[in-house]
Amino acid sequence: MTPSTTPSNKILMMRASSLSSSSLRRNSRSYTSSRSCCCCFSCRAVSKKMTRIQTTDTVLGRTRDEKFVTTKRRVTTASSSSSSSSSSSTGSEGCTRDDIVESFESSKASSALHNDDLSPVLKQNRTFSTFDTASLWVGLVVCVPAWQLVSSLMGIGNLSAFLALLLVFVANLFVVWPIVLQANAGVKYGIPFVVHARSSFGVKGANVAGLSRGFIASAWFGIQTVVGANCLRSLAVDFGVASGVSSPYLGGICYIIFWLLQAYVVWNDVESIKTIEKLAAPILLFLTLLLFIFTCVSSGGVVQSVLSAFATNDGGSNMSSNSIAGSFSWKTFFQAATASASFWATMICNVSDFSRFSKSRESFEKASFAMPLAMAVFAFASIVVTSSAAHILNTSSNLITDPMVVTSLLSTHFNWGKIASVLAAIGILTATLSTNIAANILAPANAIQNLAPSKLSFRTSAILSMILGTLCLPWKLTSDANSYIFVWLTGYGAFLAPILGIMLCDYFLIRNQNLVLEDLYSADKNSSYYFTNGVNYKAMLAFAVGVLANLPGFLHAVGLWPSSMLPQCLALAYDCAWFVGVLVGGCAHFALEKFLP
């Protein structure tokens, strides 16, 4: 669409042409000047007045030549022979808040920064409905690590079951806010996380953010694959097909089998991931409900089981009973909130990898609230089932938090036979498969192929990320509650949080939710996001500052920093590591962009 050739527009065009090309290169940053109307197919934009003015960017503290739309009129066509028009104004650059990108010229993109997998998903190609996205969140929630999260929280801080459940729900409800914010660019422009990171870190510097997030996801992939392998091993033992095979070898064989199963799925496109999530959600909810009802009925009824689980401090373990007030401390509260937020730290960073397929912003936002609700329900079920199983099996002195082990012991206790093992295996394998593929393969695959888009496909990158996840020795990361909460969850949350803070600050405060889509795929030194040799060193410095804020606390958690040398303020900072990282990283980025030339 070209601007209308009215007399006023001709004058503006003549004035613009009088500017020398060298002056434009020095002082201008391109912005999308026109975009098709997104309201409906019967609407089209017919007139825009363009002007070029020299303004002072109050946020960045530098002068730039800014192109913006001053007038936009829309004509609604009632039929092919009659129409009625209406006009509206906007002062935004490119898309408005509710616009979704409808076109992209891939021929202009640099081959070093673009391939079909990294290309924007246009509005007409979006396939994720509200139900699809909600199913994705439910599939991500229902997994063994989430099942064990509440019991781990109770174990580290003597929290009551009720307070631990409440903290998990509140923390996850709070997490929805940054999820929705980070998803905005994905919905609006259809870009994945690694491409979105180019706007703040630079077209080359984005590799740092992408690989950082990708490495964490690869480690999570290994952890989840160990869970699936343990499930297969238990199934093999129950059916007697592993007689004569030593436990280490059997575990390794099961790990390889489950690894290959996931490799087969990711070799297909994103639609296969969506299909798995839609099938997994109802299956997982049904099996969780079935286990919940049975254990409750077997231990005296649903009401009695719930009251018993929440009457004691830990839902039936060997810890002493405490009141909620007696077991509460602000330190434990912040540790629990940080652990719960860090549980989703990876998904918050790369949520645009999924939101780019959403049909609308409203659809994604509504579906996102399924996450805290599902997390609360699942945590509630884990507490009651664990407590009821301890009562049935008389194992209150040793609380069993692994659902596969619980099901296996219940099967032996009630002489259920093979059917219980099969149902448990179906539930756990489905949960692990859906979580791993959606959360722990897509992001690192995108990060790896971003290194060389012209040479690496999504499939190849996904397999490489799966290999990396195995090399992380994942079976050592969740050996006990302290390692799981303080070292793993809090540690990687503190590492990724500054990236999130920088990207949110850059997108909302510095760029006002406006990106130059073409420049995200441009290696031109004069493009908007090339910065210095393709790297925004201000964002890199802000990232380093955000990580350093939590580094002493992390070193203390792994035993490399003595307690006597750790100031109280740094210890408190690590208890709130995710929140500190987001705040410090974002503030540092804003300050550097504003005050440094």
What is the spatial distance between Cα 448 and Cα 460, in angstroms, rounded to a whole number?
9
Contacts of 353 (CB under 8 A, 6+ apart): 186, 192, 193, 442, 443, 446
Give the confidence band of 312 by pLDDT, cuts at 50, 70, 90: low
- Same domain for 75 and 172, yes or no, is no
Per the model's pLDDT, the better-predicted residue between 308 and 176 turns out to be 176
Per the model's pLDDT, the better-predicted residue between 547 and 283 turns out to be 547
- Same domain for 168 and 266, yes or no, is yes
Per the model's pLDDT, the better-predicted residue between 78 and 510 turns out to be 510
Q: Is residue 554 part of a domain?
A: no
Q: For the sheet containing 43-57, what is the strand order?
A: 43-57, 62-77, 83-88
Token look-up 């990282």 returns 581
Residue 499 pLDDT = 97
Q: Which structural domain range is residue 149 located in? A: 123-480
Total domains, the chain: 2
- Same domain for 88 and 129, yes or no, is no
CA 538 to chain centroid, in Å, comes to 24
- Same domain for 224 and 84, yes or no, is no
CB distance 380 to 164 below 8 Å: no
Q: Is residue 431 part of a domain?
A: yes
CA 446 to chain centroid, in Å, comes to 13
Burial 328-340 (b: 16+ CB within 10 A, else e): beeebbbbbbbbb
Q: Is residue 105 part of a domain?
A: no
CB distance 204 to 534 below 8 Å: yes
- Same domain for 79 and 190, yes or no, is no
Give pTM, 2 decimals.
0.74
Per the model's pLDDT, the better-predicted residue between 272 and 440 turns out to be 440
pLDDT of residue 321 exceeding 50: no
Residue 80 pLDDT = 34
- Same domain for 351 and 313, yes or no, is yes
- Same domain for 133 and 72, yes or no, is no
What is the spatial distance between Cα 305 and Cα 382, in angstroms, rounded to a whole number?
12
pLDDT of residue 90 exceeding 70: no
User: Which CATH number belongs to the domain containing residue 232 in this structure?
Assistant: 1.10.4160.10
- Domain end position, chosen among 446, 480, 514: 480
- State whether residue 1 is helix, strand or coil: coil
Residue 526 pLDDT = 94
Q: Is residue 26 part of a domain?
A: no
Question: Whats the size of the chain, residue-wise?
Answer: 597
Most confidently predicted of 35-39, 170-174, 521-525: 521-525
pLDDT of residue 438 exceeding 60: yes
What is the spatial distance between Cα 52 and Cα 255, in angstroms, rounded to a whole number?
61
CA atoms within 13 A on the CB side of 187: 24
Mean pLDDT, the chain, whole residue set? 77
- Domain end position, chosen among 431, 458, 480: 480
Q: Is residue 310 part of a domain?
A: yes
- Same domain for 79 and 150, yes or no, is no
- Same domain for 400 and 255, yes or no, is yes
pLDDT of residue 29 exceeding 80: no
Q: Is residue 539 part of a domain?
A: no
- Same domain for 295 and 217, yes or no, is yes
Q: Is residue 340 part of a domain?
A: yes
What pLDDT, in 10s, does the model give residues 39-88? Answer: 333 343 333 333 333 333 333 333 333 333 332 323 233 333 333 333 33
Rounded to 10 degrees, the C-alpha dihedral 355/359/364/366 comes to -170
What average pLDDT does range 245-265 have in this prediction?
A: 85
Q: Is residue 351 part of a domain?
A: yes
Using a pLDDT cut of 70, give the percent of the chain over it. 74
- Same domain for 224 and 310, yes or no, is yes
What average pLDDT does range 170-196 have in this prediction?
A: 94
